[in-house]
Each structure stands twice: as C-alpha cells, then as structure tokens.
C-alpha cells in the first residue's frame, strides 16, 4: 500500500515509517497540511494516515480533501487531544478509523494490513463478476446461419490457446463480443480483459495509453501511470481498429508482440508482460499493407488465427432470431408483435450498420410502439431514405426489375463506401470492369457533380 503519513513529530515519523516499510508498504511523508494536500493531489496514495494537529489547517482538512478526491480511500486520524465529539465528526466526514496517541506501531501496521486485504478482496470480487459476465458472452451471439456457426466453432477451438487472433469485420458486426468470448473461454478468464480503440486516441496519447508513462515524462505527467499492456498482464488485451494505428506506433507494437517486453514513456527499465493479444480491423489489412499504410511484418505477427465476422446482409436469415432476442432484451417485460410483411422487409434491408444498426432500430421501435404492441416498419426508421424500397415492398408487390435495380444500386453504393470511392478497387470488388462500373454509377446517379456534367456533355467517362 502507498501510505501518506502526515505527521510533524519526528520521533513518531521515524519509528512508524520504519514499521510500515518493514511490512512492505511505501510511505510518503508530509510534515504539514500543505505538504499532505500536495501529495494527495500528485501521488494518489492508497491510504491516508494523518495527525489532527499539525502546522497548517490540520488533519481534518486533509480528511475532507481526501474524501473529495476519492471517497473510497481509507483515512486514519491520529491525535493526542481527542474528544468524543471530534471523533464523531471525523467519522461523519468519512474517516475509517480514529486512534489516540500514544499507540503501538504494531497496531497501526495491523490496521493497514486489514485494509490491504479488504482491497485485495474487492479486486478479486470485481474480477469474479467480470468472469461471470464473460462466461455468458455467447448469449450475445444469436444466429443459426452457417457463417455464424463457423464463427462459434472457431472461437471454441481457438479460445483455450494463447494464439494471437485477428478479428475482421465491418463496424457493428460484434468484434468486441468475439474478443470477450475468446477471453471468457480461455485459461486467462480470471485475468483482466483490457480493450482500447486505436482510432479513438491521437498518436501523442496512444503511446502513453498503451505503454504507460513515468512521472515527469511530459508536461501533465504528475504521477506514474500503468498502460493498457501492464493492466492486461495475466489476461487479454484487445486492440480494436488496429488498422488506424499510426506507422510509428506499429513499430513499437511489433517489438511488444515479439518479445512481450516494453518500456514506459519516459522510463528506462524494461518490463515483461504475460498477455494474450486479440486485434480487430474493419478493413482489409492486406490492402493496407499493399498501400503502405500497415507494416507487413506486423500483419503476419497478428494474423496468426483470423476470424472473419460476416456482415448482417450476408446472414439475413438470422434477422428474425436477432429481432426476437432484442425485443426480449430491451422490451422491459412487454410483449411485441412483428407482422410478416415487416419482418420480410427487415430481412430484405441491407443493414449497412450491421447488428448495431438493427439493435438501435429495434430500441427506437420499442419506444415508439403503440399500446397494441404491434411494431410497424415505419416505427423502425421512418426518416431514413435507404428504407424506402423495403417499406414499399412491405406494402405492395413491385415489378421484379424495379426491386433488382434498387438492390443493385444499394450494393454499388456499399462497395464505393468500402473502398473510399476508389474506382479500380470497387470494380475489382464487384467483379466488373471499370467501364461497366462507371456506366452503373451514371445510371444510378452516383457520379460527382463534375463527373455527371462531363458525362452529359460528352456521353462518356470523362
């Protein structure tokens, strides 16, 4: 335990500090109120041990500030002039204990030891709850399609090993669910599961978040901080959106994956870790490697066991099962009905946002559902123009040619979005020539304004 000892009597400081350090604790001493408050702000101790009377505002001010910063942190008050009223007031504010001088150092050491054991039990309890949650993570997977059964089988096969896994899938397909399932079914299930999105942090913060930093490593580094790799020691680290990791960070990550060693930012000592690495990408890393956006050696290091998550449009037969599961999960005990035309339309829709979009739509429909409990298609996404075709089909039977044209347009749009409107890549992805792709984009009104104007003038690809 890191203990703040706020005391101005040097004889007490010397003997008590020796006793606490002999018991394995770290003691941070402050001789007055100002120093104690400074240590509270900068070093975040685990326990505060403070005299009530000392230079400055005194121990009650230290107690109040400690409670403001961390209400769960234990605070023990020491005094040679104690009164019952003072003790009652201290306990009301949030003191853990109140001892009168003179006292035996062994009693304080024993008190701190008890607090340490309580802290360890709380951590074990939190880890147990996390384990119980991850053991039921497979309940989050709903589907009977062959594609999803293949994913289930791969998870069950790979989970007991320590092999590095690369999860590939579009946004909203459930990549973090797969990572948690791998962790929950592994021998590391009792260890921590630590997730970080490589896309959510700028490069300047990503290194500190991954590897931690020493005090003073940069301007705002007021105290040392453990990074995600240290926090995941003994468990699993999940690197989401690894395709967005800067090249400079990829070099440092490669060394960690090869040696399981790293240094904190601003530190010199090398630290070893025992972790399982699971990464996820929403794009093709092979394409990123060809484009020079991702290191080839890192790709082969993380692509030991790939797991490909299918988009929802490729397993639309699972939509009725997913809808039923979501209605039960978010319905609050209410019963809902879904008409056959509405369900048919849900299965026909392309779901560019995948399962996440479906779940958001179901939750919206529940909020808008009338007392009858019958979900109408218009309740799901009434303003989204991409649903127009599905809604029309739900109400009437249109000519097949119109339906196929609408579907083809949506399919071309998705391909363009996936490649960032790169013509050659889109044509290759669709299995057509670049000329045919341009003609379809012209017919479907998908050309940019300048391209469309040039096409009208020249009648060909400008």
> Which CATH number, 3.40.50, 1.20.1260, 1.20.1270, 1.10.10, labels domain 400-458?
1.10.10
| Secondary structure of the chain as H, E, C letters | CEEEEECCCHHHHHHHHHHHHHCCCEEEEECCHHHHHHHHHHHCCCEEEEECCCCCCCHHHHHHHHHHHCCCCCEEEEECCCCHHHHHHHHHHCCCEEEECCCCHHHHHHHHHHHHHHHHHHHHHHHHHHHHHHHCHHHHCCCCCHHHHHHHHHHHHHCCCCCCEEEECCCCCCHHHHHHHHHHCCCCCCCCEEEEECCCCCHHHHHHHHHCECCCCCCCCCCCECCHHHHCCCCEEEEECHHHCCHHHHHHHHHHHHHCEEECECCCCEEECCCEEEEEECCCHHHHHHCCCCCHHHHHHHCCEEEECCCHHHCHHHHHHHHHHHHHHHCCCCCCEECHHHHHHHHHCCCCCHHHHHHHHHHHHHHHCCCCCEECHHHHCCCCHHHHHHHHHHHCCCCHHHHHHHHHHHHHHHHHHHCCCCHHHHHHHHCCCHHHHHHHHHHCCCCCHHHHHHHHHHCCCC
pLDDT tens readout for residues 259-300: 898 888 887 888 999 999 999 999 999 999 999 999 999 999
Domain covering 136-310: architecture: 3-Layer(aba) Sandwich (3.40)
**pLDDT tens-digit map of 339-364:** 777 888 888 888 888 999 899 889 88
Select the CATH number that applies to the domain covering 313-395 from these four: 1.10.1530.10, 1.10.3720.10, 1.10.8.60, 3.40.50.970: 1.10.8.60
Prediction pTM value: 0.54
Fold agreement between 136-310 and 400-458:
no
For the ranges 1-5, 316-320, 454-458, which has the lowest average pLDDT?
454-458
The answer to whether residue 388 scores a pLDDT higher than 70 is: no
Q: What is the CATH number of domain 2-116?
A: 3.40.50.2300
Q: Give the pLDDT score at 139.
A: 41
Average pLDDT over residues 182-211: 89
For residue 174, is pLDDT > 50? yes
Among 25-29, 105-109, 455-459, the minimum mean pLDDT is found in 455-459
Map out the domains of the chain as residue ranges.
2-116, 136-310, 313-395, 400-458
Whether residue 53 has pLDDT greater than 50: yes
pLDDT at 33: 92
Using 50, 70 and 90 to split pLDDT, how confident is the model at 235? very high
């Amino acid at each position: 335990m890191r203990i703040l000892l706020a005391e101005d009597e040097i004889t007490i400081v010397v003997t008590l500090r020796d006793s606490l350090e002999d018991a394995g604790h770290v003691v941070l001493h402050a001789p007055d109120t100002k120093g104690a408050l400074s240590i509270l702000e900068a070093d975040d101790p685990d326990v505060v041990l403070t005299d009530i009377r000392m230079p400055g505002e005194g121990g009650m001010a230290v107690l109040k500030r400690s409670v403001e910063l961390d209400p769960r942190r234990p605070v023990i008050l020491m005094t040679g002039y104690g009164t019952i009223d003072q003790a009652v007031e201290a306990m009301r504010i949030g003191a853990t204990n109140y001892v009168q001088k003179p006292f035996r150092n062994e009693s304080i050491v024993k008190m701190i030891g008890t607090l340490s054991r309580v802290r360890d039990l709380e951590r074990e309890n939190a880890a147990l709850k996390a384990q119980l949650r991850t053991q039921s993570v497979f309940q989050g997977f709903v589907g009977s399609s062959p594609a999803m059964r293949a994913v289930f089988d791969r998870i069950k096969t790979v989970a007991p090993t320590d092999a590095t896994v690369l999860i590939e899938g579009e946004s909203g397909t459930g990549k973090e669910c797969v990572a948690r399932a791998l962790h929950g079914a592994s021998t590391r299930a009792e260890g921590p599961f630590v997730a970080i999105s490589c896309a959510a942090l700028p490069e300047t913060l990503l290194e500190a978040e991954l590897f931690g930093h020493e005090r003073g490593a940069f301007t705002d580094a007021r105290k040392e901080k453990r990074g995600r790799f240290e926090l995941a020691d003994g468990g699993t680290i999940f690197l989401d959106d690894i395709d967005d990791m800067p090249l400079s960070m990829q070099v440092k990550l490669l060394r960690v994956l090869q040696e399981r060693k790293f240094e904190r930012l601003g530190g010199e000592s090398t630290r070893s870790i025992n972790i399982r690495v699971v990464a996820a990408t929403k794009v093709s890393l092979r394409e990123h490697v060809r484009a020079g956006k991702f290191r080839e050696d890192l790709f082969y290091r993380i692509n030991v066991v790939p797991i490909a998550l299918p988009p929802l449009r490729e397993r639309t037969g699972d939509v009725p099962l997913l809808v039923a599961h979501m209605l039960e999960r978010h319905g609050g005990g209410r019963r809902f009905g879904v008409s056959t035309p509405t369900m048919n339309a849900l299965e026909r829709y392309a779901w560019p946002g995948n399962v996440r979009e479906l779940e958001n739509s179901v939750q919206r429909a529940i909020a808008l559902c009338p007392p009858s409990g019958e979900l109408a298609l218009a309740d799901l996404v009434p303003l989204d123009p991409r649903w127009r075709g599905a809604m029309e089909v739900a109400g009437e039977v249109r000519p097949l040619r119109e339906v196929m044209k609408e579907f083809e347009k949506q399919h071309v749009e998705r391909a363009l979005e996936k490649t960032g409107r790169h013509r050659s890549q889109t044509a290759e992805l669709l299995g057509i020539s670049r000329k045919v792709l341009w003609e379809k984009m012209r017919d479907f009104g998908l050309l940019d304004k300048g391209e469309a104007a040039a096409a009208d003038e020249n009648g060909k690809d400008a």
